[in-house]
Amino acid sequence: MAQQLVATGLNVAHRDGTVRGRVRYIGKPTDVVKLMRDPEITSTVVLTQGGAVTFAGAILPKRPVGLITLEGAPESHLGIVSREFSIPAVMSVQLADNGGIERLGPDGLMTDTYVKHVVSVLDGQVVELDCADPDTGRVFRVDDGS
């Protein structure tokens, strides 16, 4: 199976090996409810914008295979909770190819355009999270043959 590095970010906890799953973006409460009822949750890599537990925190007890955030740090509440549940997480990801879209606006905040771009690149894709490096987590797109 072919792999392509698609993003890097802050590794929440060192972990040997990789985990694989299909990315599912949660951007609103109804997305959380749908995912929590989905029997495929244990093979899902959750993608969320923030590093707070607002959306993703409720999902972690259901044991998704991994977590990717666009913002946040390993020291955040979500980072701490993901470690407690032993869920590999890569936070504050940056795409290897951002398509020329600026991540941050003049106000220093993440732009909606960048969020939409990341979601369009990752949502629905099969990825592997590599958290072997103590500091940097890597996200690989996997050609799963489907």
pLDDT in tens, 66-102: 999 999 999 999 999 999 999 999 999 999 988 889 8
pLDDT in tens, 115-145: 999 999 999 999 999 999 999 999 999 986 6
The total domain count for the chain is 1
Dihedral class, residue 145 (left if φ above 0, else alpha if ψ from -120 to 50, else beta): left
The whole-model pTM stands at 0.93
- Please report, for the domain that includes residue 43, its CATH number: 3.50.30.10
Q: Using an 8 Å Cβ cutoff, are 35 and 120 in contact?
A: no
| CA pseudo-torsion sign 60, 28, 19, 103 | negative
| Percent residues over pLDDT 90 in the chain | 75
Domain range for residue 134? 3-142
Question: In the prediction, which pLDDT does 143 show?
Answer: 85
pLDDT band at 113 (very low <50, low <70, confident <90, very high): very high
